[in-house]
Chain A
Amino acid sequence: MRNRATTPLKVKKTFLGELRIRQSWSKYNLYNLSRLAKPRERGRNLFQVKWTAKSIARNYHGEQVREKQWVRMFDTRIRSVIPMDAKYLASNDGTLESAGRGSGLDSRESLRRKPKADPSIPYMQMTFAPLERRLDTAIFRAMFASSARQARQFVVHGAVKVNGKEMRYPGYLLNPGDMFHVQPERVMFATGAPKPSAKLEAATEDADGEENTAEEKEGDTADEEVVEDQATDDVEVERDPREVLKDLKAQAKTILASTKQDLGAKRKQDLRAFSKTIQRLLSRSKSSTILTDSIEAQFAEIQHQLQIRRQNQEAGTSSLPSAQDEARASADDGVEPSTPAEKGEASTEAGHEENSITDGEYNELLAALQSMHENPVDDSKPYATPWMPRDYMSAFAFIPRYLEVNHKICAAVYLRHPVARPGLAEVPSPFSDLVQAPAFGWYLRRR
């Protein structure tokens, strides 16, 4: 791109109506949006009013599109709909409206009692509706990118598919029914809090360098890890299981409570320590076949145990889960004779263990683990992990109705063209009619 879209704070002679608002979630833009005022009209001729209106509006609507391109796209036809009531259509075939009103048909009363008028259709707000069809704008509107420029970059870099085929043209005009899909990694990067900068990282690393180096060592040599684990296990066995679980609970609580704050190195260490303790706890049930060191396996195991507890409670034998487990284990024996003894042992052990944990504790554990499982700490990602929404995002968060978005898979369907309806216009725009109508007039001049 030749030009760059800046969000200057400065305006000529403090005319706050002429601030440049962009399709972006930046804090500069939010500040400008908060102090945006109506455009000045006094002492200006029609040409001046139209000129400023169109330039203000074009700073927001498709500023990445050349003026000539936009002029070609501009359409005087404005799409609008009127919601119809089936009951009304059934009871009246239109003769009521067209029936004669003369010869004293109108009584005084009916003249005075006017029916409540529907809110008018804001046609002028639809001036820039053709631009909403563009692929880059639609990606921004679906909240897959933090600005229209970024959306454009995603398209150009080949991260966007339309109907399952890669589309590298940001100017592709979506047709009703088109599905577009952005790589989830890109979306998480665009909408997530940025990674702390390298300088900050270095500073924190200096502060607690010792522990980090210890960890690195751990990662390097597998033998050492095993030895260490065994050592810690020995220590853990001597401690009361209740205490261990209490610690776990406290840790889980803090992790769950402080999801909003920034994650420093200290918190990452906390999280790692947390997962380790859980691993230790579970490894004491000696079901080494089920438990690997991955978080996912732990997660599955805990979920399984929780389910067993629930089933027990439903059966009404909450006091003796171990017996039931044994029964199930024996049933397993019959089915698959390959790993019978170990499995049975594991479940009984787990059952004994469970007696010391309440349901609430278990749920908390599960919630903590689930959040870790879905939103893991991963330094390889280009955004801060665990993922958090970027600052000032909520002020810009809306999904227009002409898109149907599934955020989980980062895909959306362009349902139809945006329309105006009584009292509502579907084109998101920060400007009032005082800007949109003169802008429409400006482009009308050339038709």
Chain B
Amino acid sequence: MPPRIPPSAASITIPRPSVHTHCKSCLTRAFSSTPSSQTQLRKRMFNWLQGPGANFRQPLANSTNYLSAYDRRGNLIRDRNKKQGSSPEPVSEGPETENVVALEEAAEEEPRLRKEDEEDLRPFPLNHTFISQSILSDELREEIWKRVRVDGKSVRQVSVEMGVDMRRIAAVVRLVEVERRMVAEGKSLAIPYARAIQSMVPVNKLNPQTRKPVEEHEPINDLEQHPMTYRQIFWPTSESRAFTRTDAGRVFSGAPRLPDEQERGQDGKPLLEPWQDTTPEIVGKPGHEHPVLKPADARIPHPHLVAYEKDKLDPTIKSHEVRARYVERLQQEDAKRKAIIERQARIEEKKKIRIETDRWQFVVTEVRATRTGTGLDGRGTKAPGFRYGVPSQERKKGQVKIPTSVEV
């Protein structure tokens, strides 16, 4: 039996605590002669990382995990509100063996977290104007790819159907194609990484019934603010005549008013509906030419939707007719676009001379170094070729060699 240790002398002789026995520095100071391994700042940081910061170490299941979703003490804000609302239910303890399974299942089925609202989706607590927006899920991407590549629909049509921007549709198709090629080639994909990311960021899923995104993904008719419209202009107009968006565009670009027979407000007949008016019109003095700003109807990505809505508003057109006209308009547009691409390719091809040999095909492109390219002084850089007496700037200091574009 070990000997009993008597109460230490120190504990007996300690005086009763009073204001005089306690000094602030005595309480906080470490009486060790070895230098501290951590500074105060580091200590505070690790305290935070073990306290409120511990939430961020691992991703939160089925949810995003941003700083602004938590309060200062590290409690999930939307969870906290719910906890206050409902009291925990008492669990009756019955015979174990059979109930264990049920209990385990209940434990696995954690009370589902409420969906994040906009406040919880801010990764930077101080910046209220940046929120983490959702990405497309894998199924949604596959669906988009299928509609474009398998069903042969145009990008424009799929964009309207799915509520996804046209550029994004094109990018998704491109990326899925690359993915398929990589799978076919047997290259390894970063699947665990992709899965982890999908669990961390908000994801827009595919609705299996409608085959469309569950939430509206993004606005598809974004009008870019044109620099010409930055100015504020005071423009007196007559009250007796209508001033439309077309007129406003002309004012902004300093173009003269349309003649009365073309102006809609004067019961004239415009050459084209505002939504289909894309023919460029150049105004301005020589050297300061610029195109006339078109109305918003023509500048949005989906002008045909304006026509569709107009048809819907028109009581003389029946609903099935509206649909038929919409489809026809889409087809026309598609055909027009294809014709343009074809024509451009033909023009390009015309410039080239192809010479077939049994092994190679030589493509010769004709170039011309005329005054328009070389300039009046003969030093211009637009025309190809080396010019005598003009030094090359290629190796000079400060020449930026970073390419400005990479062709696909």
List the interface of chain A (C-beta within 8 A of B): 9-10, 27-28, 30-31, 33-34, 36, 38, 77, 79-87, 89-91, 93-95, 98-100, 122, 125, 143, 162-165, 167, 169, 171-173, 175-179, 181, 184, 187-188, 191-192, 260, 374-375, 386-389, 391-401, 404-413, 415-416, 419, 421, 423-433
Contact = CB atoms under 8 A, between A and B. Distances in A.
Contacts of B56: 30, 392, 394-395
A89 B218 CA distance: 19
Interface residues of B, number: 97
Given A184-B193, A424-B129, 4 more contacts: A388-B196, A419-B224, A429-B130, A432-B128
A171 B402 CA distance: 7
Given A409-B190, A425-B129, A397 B197 contact: yes
Nearest to B40: A9
Contacts of A31: 45, 48-49, 53
B282 interface: no
Interface string B137-159: 00001000000000000000000
Interface stretch (B2-10, B24-32, B57-65, B285-293): B57-65
A396 B200 CA distance: 9
B120 interface: no
A396 B56 CA distance: 9
Given A191-B193, A413-B171, A83 B221 contact: yes
A187 B193 contact: yes
Contact of A394 (B58, B128, B191, B275): B58
Interface stretch (B94-102, B304-312, B356-364): B304-312
A428 B58 contact: no
B179 A176 contact: no
B407 interface: yes
Contacts of A374: 191-192
Given A9-B42, A28-B45, A393-B59, A404 B182 contact: no
Contacts of B297: 89
21 contacts: A77-B227, A80-B225, A81-B224, A82-B222, A83-B223, A89-B275, A89-B297, A90-B309, A94-B244, A95-B244, A125-B127, A163-B406, A169-B402, A169-B403, A187-B193, A374-B191, A395-B65, A401-B218, A408-B194, A415-B167, A431-B124
Give the most central of B130, B141, B178: most A CB within 10 Å: B130
B219 A187 contact: no
Contact of A83 (B125, B194, B222, B404): B222
A430 B305 contact: no
Nearest to A105: B239
Given A83-B222, A167-B406, A392-B56, A424 B131 contact: yes
B44 to A, nearest CB: 8
Contact of A429 (B127, B194, B300): B127
A427 B222 CA distance: 17
A331 B112 CA distance: 50
Contact of A89 (B48, B135, B296): B296
Nearest to B304: A86
B332 interface: no
Interface in B167-215: 167-168, 170-172, 174-176, 178-179, 182, 188-194, 196-198, 200-201
